[in-house]
Amino acid sequence: MTSLRKIFLLVLACNCLHVFAQDNLSKQRYKVALIDLMLLKRQKLGALQLTKDIGADGVEIDMGGLGNRPTFENSLLIDSVRQQFLNKAKELSLQIPSLGMTGYYAQSFCQREQFIQSIQDCIETMKLMNVKVAFLPLGVQCDLVKKPELRDSVVSRLKIAGKMAEKAKVVIGIETALDAKGELALLKDVNSPAIKSYFNFSNAIKNGRDLNKELETLGKKYIVQIHCTDDDGVWLQNDPKINMLEVKRTLDKMGWSGWLVIERSRDAKEPRNVKKNFGANTAYVKSIFQNIPAN
């Protein structure tokens, strides 16, 4: 066999493996992702390889810091940088299910003078990367439980963001401090198919609400993605506050499918051991939702 033929067969085999991996992933009802920010690799290419090493199906990439600037510190709008991420994701058979606007955890989406450019930059990045979901936390400054007087501002701004997202055929998933009933009412007031809930298990748990009833209240239509996580302390498999099998039964019954994105649930003894913490949580979530035995 000639060297050229050997190279050809090797390339063909690699392509076949890539197609098989993508096809197998596409058949999964539930997919498991990590977050580059929580992997301590915010908008760094190494987050993709680390995600692959850990065993997740994809990684949410952050838009970068925000601070008091009009928009994010986002290098993904640079063609050469963005292409590196897209090429690496393809090489590793990983998906990028969403982009995170986590700068709004601390900054005020509902009160800052400038917000449109940041939303537009995120949507433009989504279009260029073929990513269909963005994560927008309303954060501490737009906490509608503690500051209900800000509700009108939140609704009006989400209506603007919703129109922008609708035009681009993407969805912005919001995280609020409201219970499911309150969040559902908020989404109905915004009245945009491009604004949905990015549901976080920990919001229900830490406020003493029934996680499964909260999921059912919001329903399949209004949940675009899920942060499959609790506050830090113990791994998900050791967390007495989440019955993950019951959660799966609830989501199955609802007919929901999509991305379960692991955010926290790090062991308090080793909070910065990224590979160990997220490796354990990924293996556990896959064992429940994808029936893949944990090692």
| Confidence (pLDDT) at 294 | 73
Residue 116 domain-assigned (yes or no): yes
Residue 8 lies in a domain: no
Looking at residues 225-246, what average pLDDT do you find? 97
pLDDT at 292: 83
Q: Which residue has the higher pLDDT, 109 or 17?
A: 109
Residue 295 lies in a domain: no
pTM metric for this prediction = 0.90
- pLDDT tier for residue 8 given thresholds of 50, 70 and 90: very low
Residue with tokens 């992702």: 33
Asked whether the predicted pLDDT for residue 38 surpasses 80, the reply is yes
User: Quick one: 138 exposed, middle or buried, by C-beta within 10 A (0-12, 13-18, 19+)?
Assistant: buried
pLDDT bracket for residue 189 (50, 70, 90) = very high
Instruction: Assess if residue 195 is contained within a domain.
Output: yes
Give the percent of the chain with pLDDT over 70: 91
CATH label of the domain that carries residue 127: 3.20.20.150
Query: Average of pLDDT values for 149-174?
Result: 98
- Res 26: pLDDT: 64
Check whether 5 has a pLDDT greater than 60.
no
Domain assignment present for residue 2? The answer is no
User: Which residue, 30, 34, 24, 32, is CA-closest to 250?
Assistant: 30
Q: Give the domain extent around 62.
A: 29-289
pLDDT surpassing 70 at residue 161: yes
Give the model's pLDDT for residue 6. 47
- Residue 237 falls inside a structural domain: yes
Confidence class for position 253, pLDDT limits 50, 70, 90: very high
Q: Flag whether 132 is in a domain.
A: yes
Query: What is the count of structural domains for the chain?
Result: 1
pLDDT in tens, 48-106: 999 999 999 999 999 999 999 999 999 999 999 999 999 999 999 999 999 999 999 99
Q: Under 8 Å CB-to-CB from 170, ≥6 apart: which residues?
A: 123, 126, 127, 131, 132, 133, 134, 194
Q: What is the pLDDT of residue 293?
A: 79
DSSP string spanning 53-121?
HHT-SEEEEE----TTSSS---GGGSHHHHHHHHHHHHHTT-B---EE-GGGGTS-TTT-S--HHHHHH
Please state, in angstroms and rounded to a whole number, the distance separating the CA atoms of residues 207 and 209.
6
* Residue 4 counted as domain residue: no
Give residue 21's pLDDT band: very low, low, confident or very high (50, 70, 90). very low
The continuous run of DSSP H or E covering 33 comes out as: strand 30-35
